[in-house]
């Protein structure tokens, strides 16, 4: 049966009114495929890239199944890898449950648990939580799991990347055996397969796109940039077009790089136009920055991958990867911040010579080549400094060793080539240099 409207799912009037208030008229492909089996009580494994509406795909049927507030203990548990995503899910629940009396509590680390414990004691129907904080409060006796009917694991691939597999197995031990399980992931790594095998019983597999493919609404561009200074120059050039790049996220690989990029943008465009979020920023600072970006108060958000998931902002015109992500799956999640909900967006990636290795892996993962553009005229291509040149060379050597453990390094290869060119045996040279700098008497004994 083709479901072209939300009323085709037989949702009750409260939920349909909330959907209408939220401005949604037609279900997305993941919603059309996932909602019916979830409503019928099946275990579901959903493969869907970010920005496809998958949160509503599990939230709406859960609200329909729970229907109204009941008892003191949670009947649904939704696990999320990051506090940002947990907050986003809770926001979705509040949006769609506005005409019901269902109670939701969100649990995450980074701030004291007192307020969260108080909320749990007042009664709860749905818990949204990061695995660590959930276990902490469960082991402290603040959460009863006997009433749980539905368990959701969202962004399972990110949970595996973040090393949550031990905590997830511990949670699976303390929740009722008889329950409905839902797992959602953008990619299917070996670890996700493993947890899916432990977690799901004969699941209905729902896949709305090839695994790890970027949204078709995102236009991708790749610039080969020799060094950090040139990346800054290119960023400055792109930011001049403030009409096209009206709301953008700049992703950086480390907190230090994010802070440097933020300082540069702040100096150029003023503190009122930019914020930075990463793990060193306090929880309130991060929430305020995300809200200011959502509301359009700031134009540019500089972030590490802590914000790559769970940041649902409409009308993000551009994502700029200032650094290529080393966890290649994060590329899909980063660029999924734009081109959301049927809108188009641009994802621009800056790649230095040490990052080309990861670009090749990303292209293999997404099964497509990222279109390459020339650095625009007017962008100064700076000379690579000695330290950065050395760091890039070391990184490339490390990548080659990863692919070939017998690789000795560019310096070693150059030395051997010179020895061969001069007619000397590399082995003999090695024997002689072993005693370099030692007294002659020791050398003679040999």
pLDDT single digits (tens) 258-301: 999 999 999 988 888 899 988 777 767 877 888 888 888 899 99
Give yes or no for residue 429 having a pLDDT over 50.
no
Together in a domain, 308 and 230? yes
Q: Are residues 178 and 276 in the same domain?
A: no
In a domain, residue 405? The reply is no
Tokens coding 305: 């991958």
Task: Tell whether 201 and 225 lie within a shared domain.
Answer: no
Q: Which of 362, 387, 412 is the C-terminal boundary of a domain?
A: 387
Read out DSSP for 89-121? Answer: HHHHHHHHTTTS---EEEE-SSS-SHHHHHHHH
Q: Average of pLDDT values for 219-236?
A: 95
Would 178 be classed as within a structural domain? yes
Whether 443 shows a pLDDT value over 50: the answer reads: no
Whether residue 266 is contained in a domain is answered as yes
User: What local confidence, expressed as pLDDT, does residue 438 receive?
Assistant: 47
* Rounded CA separation 45/34 (Å): 9
110 token code pair: 């980074």
Pair 112, 86: CB distance under 8 Å:
no
**Does residue 92 belong to any structural domain of this protein?**
yes
Look at residue 415 and tell me if it is in a domain: no
199 and 320, same domain (yes or no): no
Domain end marker among 142, 175, 207 = 207
Last residue of a domain, one of 166, 181, 207: 207
Cα–Cα distance for residue pair 445/144, rounded to 1 Å: 77
Report the alpha-carbon distance of residue 252 to residue 393 in Å, rounded.
Answer: 20
372: DSSP letter: B
Does a structural domain hold residue 71?
A: yes
Asked if 234 and 186 sit in the same domain, the reply is no
Q: Tell me, yes or no, whether 108 and 175 share the same domain.
A: yes
Four-CA torsion 74, 78, 79, 84, nearest 10 degrees:
-110
Query: Which of 80-89, 123-132, 401-410 is least confident?
Result: 401-410
Domain hosting 194: range is 6-207
157-190 confidence digits (pLDDT tens): 888 878 888 999 999 999 998 999 999 988 777 7
Residue 216's CB: how many other CB atoms inside 10 A?
Answer: 10
For residue 17, give both structure tokens. Answer: 């009114």
User: Is residue 416 assigned to a domain?
Assistant: no
| Mean pLDDT over each residue of the chain, to the nearest integer | 85
Average pLDDT over residues 391-419: 75
Note the pLDDT of residue 444: 46
* Pair (230, 306) in one structural domain: yes
Neighbours of 113 (CB within 10 A): 16
Highest mean pLDDT among 89-103, 313-327, 403-417, 427-441: 89-103
pLDDT band for position 309 (50/70/90)? Answer: low
**pTM, two decimal places:** 0.59
Query: What is the per-residue pLDDT across 33-75, written as a single tens digit (0 to 9) for each?
Result: 999 999 999 999 998 876 678 899 999 999 999 999 999 999 9
Measured over all CA atoms, what is the biggest interatomic distance in the chain, rounded to whole angstroms?
A: 96
């Amino acid at each position: 049966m083709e479901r072209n409207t939300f009323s085709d799912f037989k949702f009750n009037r409260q939920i349909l009114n909330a959907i209408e208030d939220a401005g949604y008229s037609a279900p997305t492909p993941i919603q059309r495929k996932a909602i019916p089996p979830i409503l019928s009580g099946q275990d579901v494994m959903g493969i869907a890239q970010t920005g496809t509406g998958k949160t509503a795909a599990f939230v709406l049927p859960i609200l329909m199944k729970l229907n109204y507030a009941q008892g003191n203990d949670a009947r649904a548990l939704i696990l999320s890898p990051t506090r940002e995503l947990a907050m986003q899910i809770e926001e979705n629940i509040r949006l769609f449950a506005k005409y019901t009396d269902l109670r939701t509590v969100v649990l995450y680390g980074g701030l004291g648990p007192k307020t969260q414990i108080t909320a749990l004691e007042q009664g709860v129907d749905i818990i949204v939580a990061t695995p660590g904080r959930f276990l902490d409060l469960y082991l402290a006796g603040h959460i009863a799991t006997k009433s749980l009917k539905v368990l959701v694991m969202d962004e399972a691939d990110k949970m595996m990347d973040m090393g949550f597999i031990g905590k997830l197995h511990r949670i699976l031990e303390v929740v009722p055996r008889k329950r409905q399980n839902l797992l959602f992931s953008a990619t299917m790594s070996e670890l996700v397969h493993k947890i899916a095998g432990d977690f799901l019983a004969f699941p209905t597999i729902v896949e709305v796109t090839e695994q790890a493919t970027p949204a078709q609404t995102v236009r991708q561009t790749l610039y080969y940039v020799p060094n950090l200074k040139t990346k800054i120059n290119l960023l400055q050039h792109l930011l001049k077009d403030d009409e096209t790049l009206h709301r953008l996220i700049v992703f950086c690989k480390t907190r230090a790089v994010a802070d440097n990029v933020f300082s540069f943008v702040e100096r150029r465009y003023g503190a009122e136009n930019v914020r930075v979020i990463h793990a060193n920023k306090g929880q309130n600072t991060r929430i305020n920055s995300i809200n200011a970006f959502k509301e359009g108060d700031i134009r540019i958000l500089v972030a590490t991958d802590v914000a790559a998931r769970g940041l649902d902002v409409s009308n993000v015109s551009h994502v700029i990867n200032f650094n290529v992500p080393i966890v290649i799956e994060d590329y899909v999640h980063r660029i999924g911040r734009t081109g959301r909900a049927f809108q188009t967006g641009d994802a621009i990636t800056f790649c230095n010579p040490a990052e080309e290795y990861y670009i090749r892996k990303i292209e293999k993962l997404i099964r497509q080549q990222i279109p390459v553009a020339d650095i625009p005229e007017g962008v100064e291509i700076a000379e690579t400094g000695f330290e950065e040149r050395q760091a890039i060379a070391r990184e490339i050597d490390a990548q080659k060793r990863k692919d070939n453990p017998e690789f000795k390094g560019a310096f070693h290869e150059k030395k051997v080539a010179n020895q061969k060119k001069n007619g000397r045996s590399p082995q003999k040279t090695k024997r002689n240099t072993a005693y370099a700098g030692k007294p002659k008497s020791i050398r003679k004994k040999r």
